[in-house]
């Protein structure tokens, strides 16, 4: 587990992640990379993930099991046809799990 914790001071990195998604930019500043490392390195049990339903076309939201080898829990009624929207939603859900706060940052052009 990381010794770093995500806090309100990291909000600019969430905005950077959103902008990078929109611009198809995969360079991450060191601060954003640190936030992503914390999100990716957090305990697996319950961590939100994307499940490919149809390659390059449809994804479902899932949650990792507590033990290796157990099935991923599929979150009912949550599917995506836009990979960027799916990745942003997972980022926001992981942010809330780690900080207890909603980001409240919408993707441009999205309701």
Cα separation, 57 vs 42, in Å, equals: 28
Average pLDDT over every residue of 101-107 = 81
Average pLDDT over every residue of 73-101 = 95
Q: Across all residues in the chain, what is the average pLDDT?
A: 91
Confidence of residue 107 (pLDDT cuts 50, 70, 90): low
Q: Give the percent of the chain with pLDDT over 70.
A: 94
Residue 109 or residue 101, greater confidence: 101
Any idea where the domains of the chain sit in the sequence?
8-99
Give the burial string for 27-47 (b: 16+ CB within 10 Å, else e): ebeeebebbeebbeebeeeeb
For 57, residues 6+ apart whose C-beta sits below 8 A from its C-beta are: 81
Average pLDDT over every residue of 49-76 = 96
Virtual torsion, Cα 106, 62, 79, 13, nearest 10 deg:
20
């Amino acid at each position: 587990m990381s010794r770093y914790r995500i806090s309100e001071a990291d909000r600019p990195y969430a905005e950077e992640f959103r902008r990078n998604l929109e611009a198809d930019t995969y360079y991450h500043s060191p601060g954003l990379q640190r936030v992503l490392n914390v999100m990716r390195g957090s305990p697996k049990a319950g961590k939100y993930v994307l499940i490919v339903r149809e390659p390059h076309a449809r994804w479902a939201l899932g949650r990792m099991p507590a033990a290796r080898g157990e099935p991923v829990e599929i979150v009912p009624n949550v599917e995506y046809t836009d990979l960027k929207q799916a990745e942003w939603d997972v980022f926001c859900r992981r942010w809330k799990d780690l900080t207890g706060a909603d980001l409240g940052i919408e993707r441009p052009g999205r309701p």
